[in-house]
Structure 1
Amino acid sequence: MAKTPILKWTAACALVLSLSACGGNGLFGGGKNERRENDPNGFSRDYDSAARSYAVKKGSRLSDLFVNNQDPNVTLKVNKYLWKASLDVLNFMPVEAADPFTGTIALGYGRPQGSGRAYRATVYITDPALDARSLRVSLQGAGGSAVSTQTARAVEDAILTRARQLRIADGKL
């Protein structure tokens, strides 16, 4: 009689492990996230795709439930004004994934008001400082077509301007 609960528990664990192995990355994840310096903007499409898929899949494996690799004393190293401003300026795009620990926001295709062209963006916030060096925006047109450097710079400038406005408004409280 005592063996029945142990057998049920063992069978349940075996079922869970076999189902988790069916995932795209396997039980323990895998794959590489390499950055290739081919793009004139400093971004590679391979890196953008890898970062996007990593942000979507991070924490989606069964083994992530049982592993605690995070230091409880770690604080977020993302500027809250840049984060909020990015979401404000690019509010016409749906958010596909957002990871405040790596500072990555992956946005889907959307059309800005008054434009017939759809864009997709990935925003990288790399530093807690409210600084232009802390922000990188990777834009793609519909079908993965290239977007001019001036357009990407204009989006970055709009995000930085909005972040400064948010900081000034926060200082008045």
Structure 2
Amino acid sequence: MIQRRLPIASASLLGLAAALSACASGNDLPSADTAASQVTTIGVNSYLWRASLEAVSFAPLLQADSAGGVIVTDWFANPENPAERVKLTVSILDQDLRADALRVAASRQVSQGGGWVDAPVQAATVQKLEDIILTKARELRRQAIAS
């Protein structure tokens, strides 16, 4: 039985070597995946960056550092609830499109006695914004693959 396996294994190795040498001959190089999950021409994952900018576009920006992956909004008050305002910080922590590559922090203040007082932010609010950003980033990647 061993003698039969050796010729088969040798034939398989020769076939693999021939296939590899044909690929190395020049023009049959594999094409690059233009929609890879790690697109970092701006320093951070571009899908997460674009999705984050879109998600916080309702608020004025204080800082947007694409190299460091940080977006900071100024205070924003919803016209329907002017006695409350929020400020957001979005950090992109990795070059890969992954859930743990994104962190959102929110500050909230309420108007009391003519001034602004810090108030707690519900964890579900931050989680919802992270979900919106991740969903949009994945959608952008799917669009890039389709085109």
Q: Please indicate the TM-score interval, normalised by the length of the shorter structure.
A: 0.5 to 0.7
Task: Show the 5 A alignment for 1:88-167.
Answer: 88-111=54-77, 117-142=84-109, 143=116, 144-167=118-141
* Secondary structure in 2 matching 1:151: helix
Structure 1 residues 168, 148: CA separation in 2 closer, same or farther (over 3 Å shift)?
Answer: same
Structure 2 length-normalised TM: 0.61
Deviation string 1:108-151 (CA, Å, 9 cap, x unpaired) is: 12245866542110010010111111000000112442211111
What is the aligned partner in structure 2 of residue 43 from structure 1? none
- Unaligned 5+ segments in structure 2 are 1-40, 110-115
SS at match of 2:75: strand
Q: What amino acid maps onto 2:131 in structure 1?
A: D
Higher RCO (C-alpha under 8 Å, 6+ residues apart): 2
How many residue pairs get aligned? The number is 100
Unaligned runs of 5+ in 1: 1-74
Give the distance between the partners of 2:142 and 2:61, measured in 1 at CA: 26
TM-score (norm 1): 0.52
CA radius of gyration, larger in? 2
Q: CA distance change for structure 1 residues 161 and 127 in 2, over 3 Å: closer, same or farther? A: same
In structure 1, C-alpha distance between the alignment counterparts of 2:98 and 2:75, rounded to whole Å: 27
Of 135-144 and 104-113, more deviation after overlay is shown by: 104-113
Measured on the aligned residues, the alpha-carbon RMSD in Å equals 2.2
* Partners of 1:79 and 1:155 in 2: CA distance: 18
